[in-house]
Amino acid sequence: MSGSRRPSADRVTLEVVARVAGVSRATVSRVVNGKASVDESLRQAVERAISETGYLPNLAARALVTRRAEAIALVLPEESRILGDPFFGRVVSGVTSVLTPLGLHLVLLMTGRHTREQVVTDLRQGRLDGVILIHTYPQDPLPGQLVKARLPVVLAGKPQTSARITHVDVDQAAGGALAARHLHALGRRRFATITGPLDAPAGQGRLHGFRDTLTALGQSAPLVAEGDFSRDGGAAAMSRLLAAEPELDAVFVASDLMAQGALPVLRRHVRRVPADVAVVGFDDSSAALACEPPLTTVRQPVEDMAAELARQVLTRVDNPEVPPAAVLFEPTLVHRDSA
């Protein structure tokens, strides 16, 4: 039989990975051990080579040397919310795209008082190396506890605490502004919006960007109905908007999932989309494609943002003295059939 065979994972060495990636063994070692001081193009080349060769780090040996658990926790909202929202699957995909090639484990945890106590204890006792927090609430003590204890933690979204904490976010206000300019350019003039929770930075930022941009364009402030980032919440908010203004002709919905709930309400009120009402969502998730018609939406690059969260937490595991950072991604508008 001719042709080469991929070597078995237990025979693949750092030297083999280095040869495939076209880099030095030292560079491969730094990537495998989660070191921050690697150029991004070299890091990607090494991660591709790891995938191609099937290299598996010797986690037991590495743990003895590094004194690490080789595990990162991803703390998510309560399970009932996760099951219905495609956003969280995209977060997991982005985080594992960085951790898996390095042989690191991802530990999923749900929010709750016991979870907060467990996270702090596990970090202090070495059962976890770092934590990525998703969607904390304003009074959540966990971010401040972790920062005060000088433990490796990064946050998805703008902090709602005075503690200085590394975070990764999309420019929420810029996303709302994109929606406002697009709907205005279509000639719509009776504007409304279904916001996210207004006690959360994402809900506030998207509303402010939308409303402030309409004002700058010489338009009246939009009618506002608060939602909760759920399908049912979007449906209920859309009903409230139509009761207040049956002739509205443009709606910015602050998540695709809420838009998926809002569109059937418009159909029941015999309001055609986009002929009578133009609708713009936010996220560019699978829910946008499941809408009828397919949803024009503001895209936040969730997988890229989640991968950056993973890189940031690994940087802080490697060097706890690295100062807090704020990484902001830019949104884009994806044109489909709803607006």
What CATH number does residue 194 fall under?
3.40.50.2300
Domain co-membership, 193 together with 290 = yes
Percent of residues, the chain, with pLDDT higher than 70: 87
Between 76-80, 262-266, 328-332, the lowest mean confidence (pLDDT) is in 76-80
Structural domain span for residue 99: 69-170+302-329
Rounded CA gap, 235 and 319, in Å?
Answer: 46
Domain co-membership, 161 together with 178 = no
Sheet with 130-134, edge to edge strand ranges:
105-110, 71-76, 130-134, 153-156, 166-170, 326-329
63 within domain boundaries? no
146-167 average pLDDT score = 83
The β-bridge relationship of strands 296-299 and 332-334 is: antiparallel
Q: Cβ distance 283 to 256 under 8 Å?
A: yes
Structure tokens at 241: 């908007």
Give the residue with greater pLDDT, 184 vs 147.
184
93 within domain boundaries? yes
* pLDDT tens, residue by residue, 206-259: 999 999 999 999 999 999 999 999 999 999 999 999 999 999 999 999 999 999
Q: How confident is the model at residue 176 (pLDDT cuts 50, 70, 90)?
A: very high
Domain co-membership, 107 together with 146 = yes
Distance of alpha carbon 33 from its chain centroid, rounded? 24
Give the model's pLDDT for residue 198.
92
Instruction: Write down the pTM of the prediction.
Output: 0.76
Q: 2 pLDDT exceeds 50?
A: no
The closest alpha carbon to 280, from 336, 228, 197, 238, belongs to: 336
Domain co-membership, 183 together with 280 = yes
Give the model's pLDDT for residue 70.
80
Give the model's pLDDT for residue 1.
35
SS3 label, residue 106: strand
* pLDDT tens, residue by residue, 83-112: 667 888 899 999 999 998 888 889 888 776
Single-letter code of the amino acid located at 230: S
Single-letter code of the amino acid located at 36: A
